[in-house]
């Protein structure tokens, strides 16, 4: 099927989003000249294949269920925020909070990501080829983060049931995060995610697994007689 082409120099973000929602499920669209515009392709609840020829701004693909997005460039804050299902691939770098509160799907960044990647993640997978900044996976509840490079401070602070895999170095762990033994099941999951992401630089047998120590699940007001 020939993609429908939109041009941000001709149409507004609102006009393009309305037109995308009107396309039949399974359609493809190419968006030209996004030039960092925000809120592109948000709230789509059907199977669409959308390619952005250039960098986008904040919240690309947010609140979507079933969409498949490729950004040939960088993305701003919170790419894939609250994604329910589908795939978002960014060929460049991602700014803060990529994948924030995502419930499902897969978010792939072929470059680096800024701070707070995967904050409050509730499911799905995030795969970052390069490095990540501080406070990644803060209060992440479920899902997986795979990092091919190095990662900053306070990784996995207040982590719940989510799991983090890091191929590079970790500057520091956050509260209640801990290193855990890598299992055969982990290796299989990492290998499958690397295949999906197209990452060939990660050895699934040579990554660190970070999980929750589960000491913050219940608040003990009488611990050490301090409130």
In the chain, the DSSP E strands lie at 4-7, 28-32, 49-53, 65-71, 85-90, 106-109, 122-128, 142-147, 163-166, 177-180, 208-212
Output the pTM of the full model: 0.95
What's the CA gap between 73 and 114, in Å, rounded? 15
Predicted confidence at residue 224, as pLDDT, reads: 61
Q: Are 41 and 21 in contact (CB under 8 A)?
A: no
Over the chain, what is the mean pLDDT?
A: 95
- pLDDT tens per residue, range 176-227: 999 999 999 999 999 999 999 999 999 999 999 999 999 887 766 655 655 4
Residue 139 pLDDT exceeds 50: yes
Question: What are the residue ranges spanned by the domains of the chain?
Answer: 1-92, 112-227
What's the CA gap between 63 and 25, in Å, rounded? 17
């Amino acid at each position: 099927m020939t993609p429908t082409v939109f041009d941000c120099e001709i149409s507004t973000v609102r006009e393009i989003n309305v037109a995308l929602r009107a396309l039949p499920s399974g359609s493809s669209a190419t968006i030209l000249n996004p030039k960092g515009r925000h809120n592109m392709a948000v709230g789509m609840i059907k199977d669409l294949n959308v390619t952005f020829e250039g960098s986008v701004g904040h919240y690309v693909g947010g609140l979507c269920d079933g969409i498949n997005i490729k950004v040939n460039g960088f993305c701003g804050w919170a790419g894939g925020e609250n994604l329910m299902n589908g795939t978002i691939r960014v060929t460049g770098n991602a700014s803060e909070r990529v994948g924030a509160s995502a419930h499902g799907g897969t978010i792939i960044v072929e470059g680096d990501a800024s701070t707070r990647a995967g904050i409050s993640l509730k499911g799905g997978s995030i795969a970052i080829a390069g490095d990540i900044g501080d406070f990644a996976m803060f209060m992440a509840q479920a899902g997986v983060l795979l990092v091919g490079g190095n990662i900053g401070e306070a990784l996995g602070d207040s982590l719940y049931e989510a799991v983090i895999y890091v191929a590079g170095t970790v500057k520091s762990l956050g509260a209640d995060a801990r290193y855990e033994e890598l299992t055969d099941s982990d290796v299989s999951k990492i290998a499958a995610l690397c295949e999906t992401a197209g990452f060939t630089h990660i050895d699934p047998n040579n990554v660190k697994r970070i999980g929750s120590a589960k000491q913050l699940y219940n608040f003990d007001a009488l611990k050490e007689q301090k409130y």
